[in-house]
Amino acid sequence: MAENLTEKTPQKREYPDDERARIRQIGYYTICFIIVLAGIAIMTRLYPAGLDDMTKLIIYVACSGGLGGLAFSIYGYTKHLLKNDFNLNAVWWYIMRPFIGIVYGSFAFFFIAGGLMTLSGTSQPVAETLFTTKTVMFYCALAFLTGYSESSFTAQLKELAEAVFKTPENNQTGTPPESAGTGSTNSTDQSSAGK
């Protein structure tokens, strides 16, 4: 019975002092970034300083996307600390995660508000109700989810890009199709192109 308990409990990995310090720095970075983003959103609300509604909404959405990215960072951070398999090679993942959340959250807003992407359940035009409390909460929640789940949003972006920038059926490689007479050194092709 004692053998079963030792098999299920992960062995305690001892990190060297420099690794422990770097792991702590990642945690401090994450906490500080959360405070900064929340502070920006709160300051935008309390001291709008003549900002128009659209600018305030973009700030809220960007902060929400960054907070979503940071929420997933916290999840990964604690998960790997508890599993005792923290990999310091992923430092840049933790550093870039809030920035990816900010960018993805902002562009998710632009795509939805601009009409390039649609969600089921949105029935009224966005322009008429862009800055109601409910819409601000909707776009902030959308940005948070986008920042939290950037891999899912990346897949949606890929599908959207493929739909918008379709390639001809016979050209699946992504290279431009050759036009008549180009790339050929045959004199008959060149002479017929001039006629």
What is the pLDDT, as a whole number, of residue 179? 54
What is the pLDDT, as a whole number, of residue 17? 87
Residue 11 belongs to a domain: no
What is the tens place of the pLDDT at every residue in 151-162? Answer: 999 998 898 888
Residue 95 belongs to a domain: yes
What is the pLDDT, as a whole number, of residue 8? 56
Residue 166 belongs to a domain: no
What is the pLDDT, as a whole number, of residue 177? 56
Residue 121 belongs to a domain: yes
Residue 113 belongs to a domain: yes
Residue 136 belongs to a domain: yes
What is the tens place of the pLDDT at every residue in 4-28? Answer: 544 555 566 788 889 999 999 999 9
The number of folded domains in the chain is 1
Residue 107 belongs to a domain: yes
User: In Å, how far are 23, 79, 179, 187, 191 from 194, measured between CA atoms?
Assistant: 69, 68, 14, 11, 5
What is the pLDDT, as a whole number, of residue 195? 40
Residue 183: pLDDT over 80: no
Spatial contact of 131 and 53, defined as CB atoms under 8 Å apart: yes
Residue 39 belongs to domain spanning: 17-160
Residue 34 belongs to a domain: yes
